[in-house]
């Protein structure tokens, strides 16, 4: 399992302003209990929202940081007295709840988030001309491969809760330019390798924690080891898909925060499933871990020996502990682990000490490595520095002119006047569809189909470069469009 992630915490008694990323508009000083959040039908929407912020932060931090003993204490403090003063209608509502459509929507959105990053990363990678930007290419390629891993692991989570994931249907295709389905103010699109595209990638991978441990200054770095209550309304029911998605759209600003809230929702439904089965509330992680919503077929899980990609560890999911491992992997690779710029603790050599995605892209943008940099001017008394601090270690040479001048966000319709170019663009889209079809077949239980993905990835690069070499007008060349197509 990965090292502890950011935001290590102890259970807190109050929710104070500025205590976490969700506290921008905190107005409730005293957080309601988790039991009240789930079962009290008289709380206001404001209390529900602020209680969700608090318990999301507390529960998620404890479990995703492997603080199981502290979690047991927290759960016992919230549920120790059992369910009290709950109306029969509220009990019946939870007894009849169907978690599947809610988790299907939220987990499919997570797949869309991961999928949405892959075409932009591949486009920038393929646009780099041969013989240039070798280090930048290596960085972008490594992140793209890990995003593919993340998408497959979210599929594992869906299969674990007996919901069929989908990656290859038209509605599951990202359409560019687009905003990620969170509270963000930037657009993601298909663009050639340039400072603007890398800046967008940095925005995509932004950490939710504003501070990280400053890298240690090394005079002779070993780069290889680091690269590789208002008016209450009776019988309120705020636990609806609309409200839960609304909370995300208003309060979630980073991919890491999305996974935090998603994990909290999964845990809530596991708590309710336990209540449905036992008529009581779980008192510790052991009771909460297995059973409940985890009714999926284990044979559908993609396991490490069946995955042919590199970069990170693939985790199967058969219980809540598996979801923890998956989300630790995704968050650690994206924004860093244990308050670090690394995706694992560099003192651990299980998987090496590679930088998290955000910091890898910052190295390209600023044309310097983090390793061997002196960050004392940016570091506070606790050894922490802002994530916005640029890398100032060894130079990382970047040739911003070493890429094809691809038209931004091209569409196949742009090539309608050129029959040969249109055919090339269509063939690329067919190959990408075959890649997604192979993944889809694999997550449906046909694991051997993953072998085909390697062949399709090689074909994609050749076809994309073929498009990018062809002028579209006086200022730009053609490029891949990553649009859905029938085979």
pLDDT (0 to 100) of residue 5: 40
Q: Mean pLDDT over all residues of the chain?
A: 87
Q: What is the pLDDT of residues 78-87, one digit of tens each?
A: 987 666 556 6
Q: Do residue 320 and residue 356 come from a single domain?
A: yes
Does the pLDDT value for residue 227 go beyond 50?
Answer: no
pLDDT (0 to 100) of residue 53: 96
pLDDT (0 to 100) of residue 161: 97
> Which token pair is 226?
């680091």
Q: Do residue 105 and residue 224 come from a single domain?
A: yes
Q: Do residue 388 and residue 482 come from a single domain?
A: no
Q: Which residue has the tokens 């050749």?
A: 462
Distance separating alpha carbons of residues 114 and 330, to the nearest angstrom: 10
- Please, are residues 254 and 183 in contact by the beta-carbon 8 Å criterion? no
Is residue 109 a part of any domain in this protein? yes
- Please, are residues 104 and 173 in contact by the beta-carbon 8 Å criterion? no
Q: What is the pLDDT of residues 320-348, one digit of tens each?
A: 999 999 999 999 898 876 678 887 655 44
Collapsing DSSP to helix, strand or coil, 128 comes out as: strand
Domain boundary among 372, 403, 434: 403
What is the pLDDT averaged over residues 99-108?
A: 95
Is residue 166 a part of any domain in this protein? yes
Q: Which residue has the tokens 């995955």?
A: 307
pLDDT (0 to 100) of residue 335: 80
Which helix (H) or strand (E) segment is 212 a member of?
strand 211-213
- DSSP structural state of residue 400: T
> Which token pair is 322?
């598996």
Is residue 115 a part of any domain in this protein? yes
Q: Do residue 211 and residue 127 come from a single domain?
A: yes
pLDDT tier, 313 (very low <50, low <70, confident <90, very high otherwise): confident
Q: Do residue 392 and residue 426 come from a single domain?
A: no
- Please, are residues 453 and 459 in contact by the beta-carbon 8 Å criterion? no
Is residue 226 a part of any domain in this protein? yes
Does the pLDDT value for residue 389 go beyond 50?
Answer: yes
Beta bridge partners of 395: 368
Q: How many CB atoms lie within 10 A of CB 327?
A: 27
**Domain span at residue 475?**
407-487
- DSSP structural state of residue 449: G
Q: Give the long-range contacts of residues 183-188, CB within 8 A, separation 24 or more.
A: 183/248, 183/249, 183/250, 183/251, 183/252, 183/253, 184/253, 188/116, 188/117, 188/120
Backbone conformation region of residue 244, classed left if phi is above 0, alpha if psi is from -120 to 50, else beta: alpha
Q: Do residue 201 and residue 330 come from a single domain?
A: yes
Is residue 395 a part of any domain in this protein? yes
pLDDT tier, 309 (very low <50, low <70, confident <90, very high otherwise): low
What is the pLDDT averaged over residues 430-441?
A: 97
pLDDT (0 to 100) of residue 234: 41
Q: What is the pLDDT of residues 106-163, one digit of tens each?
A: 999 999 999 999 999 999 999 999 999 999 999 999 999 999 999 999 999 999 999 9
pLDDT (0 to 100) of residue 223: 43
Q: Do residue 384 and residue 412 come from a single domain?
A: no
Does the pLDDT value for residue 277 go beyond 70?
Answer: yes
Q: Do residue 305 and residue 445 come from a single domain?
A: no
Beta bridge partners of 213: 384
Does the pLDDT value for residue 6 go beyond 70?
Answer: no
Is residue 71 a part of any domain in this protein? no
Closest to 205 (Cα-Cα) out of 270, 154, 140, 156: 140
Q: Do residue 194 and residue 313 come from a single domain?
A: yes
Is residue 25 a part of any domain in this protein? no
Collapsing DSSP to helix, strand or coil, 51 comes out as: helix
Beta bridge partners of 384: 213
What percentage of the chain reaches a pLDDT higher than 90?
72
pLDDT tier, 306 (very low <50, low <70, confident <90, very high otherwise): confident
pLDDT tier, 40 (very low <50, low <70, confident <90, very high otherwise): confident
Does the pLDDT value for residue 307 go beyond 70?
Answer: yes
Q: How many CB atoms lie within 10 A of CB 253?
A: 18
Q: What is the pLDDT of residues 401-427, one digit of tens each?
A: 999 999 999 999 999 999 999 999 999
pLDDT (0 to 100) of residue 353: 62
pLDDT (0 to 100) of residue 236: 65
For the chain, the domain total comes to 2
pLDDT (0 to 100) of residue 94: 76
pLDDT (0 to 100) of residue 10: 41
Does the pLDDT value for residue 482 go beyond 90?
Answer: yes
pLDDT (0 to 100) of residue 358: 95
Q: Which stretch of 12-16, 222-226, 278-282 has the lowest confidence by average pLDDT?
A: 12-16
Does the pLDDT value for residue 206 go beyond 50?
Answer: yes
Which helix (H) or strand (E) segment is 83 a member of?
none
Distance separating alpha carbons of residues 146 and 357, to the nearest angstrom: 9
CATH of the domain at 132: 1.20.1260.10
Collapsing DSSP to helix, strand or coil, 342 comes out as: strand
Q: Do residue 160 and residue 215 come from a single domain?
A: yes
Q: Do residue 431 and residue 378 come from a single domain?
A: no
Beta carbons within 8 Å of 421's beta carbon, 6+ residues apart: 415, 467, 470, 472, 478
Is residue 56 a part of any domain in this protein? no
Domain boundary among 342, 377, 403: 403
Q: Do residue 230 and residue 310 come from a single domain?
A: yes
Instruction: From residue 347, give the alpha-carbon distance in Å to each of 211, 338, 353, 354.
Output: 20, 12, 8, 12
pLDDT (0 to 100) of residue 453: 87
Closest to 255 (Cα-Cα) out of 399, 351, 111, 130: 111
Domain boundary among 403, 432, 467: 403
Does the pLDDT value for residue 17 go beyond 90?
Answer: no
Burial of 81 from C-beta contacts in 10 A (0-12 / 13-18 / 19+) = exposed
pLDDT tier, 42 (very low <50, low <70, confident <90, very high otherwise): confident
């Amino acid at each position: 399992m990965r090292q502890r992630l950011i935001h290590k915490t102890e259970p807190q008694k109050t929710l104070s302003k500025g205590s976490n990323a969700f506290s921008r508009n905190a107005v409730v000083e005293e957080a309601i209990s988790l039991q009240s959040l789930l079962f009290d039908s008289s709380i206001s929407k404001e209390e529900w929202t602020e209680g969700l912020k608090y318990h999301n932060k507390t529960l998620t931090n404890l479990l995703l940081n492997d603080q199981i003993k502290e979690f047991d204490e927290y759960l016992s403090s919230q549920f120790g007295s059992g369910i009290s003063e709950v109306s029969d209608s509220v009990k019946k509502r939870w007894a009849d709840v169907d978690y599947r459509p809610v988790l299907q929507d939220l987990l499919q959105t997570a797949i869309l988030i991961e999928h949405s990053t892959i075409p932009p990363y591949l486009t920038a990678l393929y646009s780099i001309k041969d013989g240039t930007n070798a280090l930048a290419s290596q960085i972008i390629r490594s992140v793209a491969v890990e995003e593919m891993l993340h998408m497959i692991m979210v599929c594992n989570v869906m299969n674990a809760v007996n919901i069929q994931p989908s990656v290859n249907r038209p509605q599951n295709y990202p359409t560019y330019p687009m905003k990620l389905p969170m509270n963000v103010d930037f657009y993601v699109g298909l663009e050639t390798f340039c400072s603007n595209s890398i800046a967008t990638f940095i925005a995509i991978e932004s950490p939710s924690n504003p501070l990280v441990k400053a890298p240690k200054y090394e005079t002779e770095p070993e780069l290889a080891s680091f690269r590789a209550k208002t008016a209450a309304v009776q019988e309120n029911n705020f636990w609806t898909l609309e409200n839960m998605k609304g909370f995300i759209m208003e309060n979630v600003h980073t991919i890491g925060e999305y996974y935090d809230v998603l994990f909290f929702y999964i845990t809530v439904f596991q708590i309710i499933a336990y209540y449905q089965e036992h008529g009581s509330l779980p008192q510790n992680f052991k009771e909460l871990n297995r059973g409940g919503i985890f009714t999926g077929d284990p044979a559908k899980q993609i396991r490490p020996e069946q995955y042919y990609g590199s970069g990170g560890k693939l985790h199967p999911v058969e219980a809540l502990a598996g979801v923890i491992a998956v989300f630790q992997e995704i968050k650690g690779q994206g924004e860093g682990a244990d308050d670090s710029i690394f995706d694992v603790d560099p003192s651990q050599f299980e998987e090496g000490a590679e930088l998290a995605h955000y910091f890898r892209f910052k190295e390209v943008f600023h044309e310097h490595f983090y390793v061997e940099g002196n960050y004392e001017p940016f570091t506070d008394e606790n050894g922490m520095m802002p994530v916005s601090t640029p890398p100032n270690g060894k130079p990382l040479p970047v040739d911003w002119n070493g890429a094809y001048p691809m038209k931004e966000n091209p569409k196949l319709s742009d090539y309608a006047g050129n029959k040969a170019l249109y055919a090339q663009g269509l063939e690329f889209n067919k190959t990408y569809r075959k890649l997604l079809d192979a993944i889809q077949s694999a997550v449906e239980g046909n694991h051997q189909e993953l072998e085909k993905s390697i062949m399709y990835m090689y074909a994609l690069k050749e076809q994309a470069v073929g498009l990018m070499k062809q002028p579209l007008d006086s200022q730009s060349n053609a490029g891949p469009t990553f649009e859905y197509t029938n085979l």
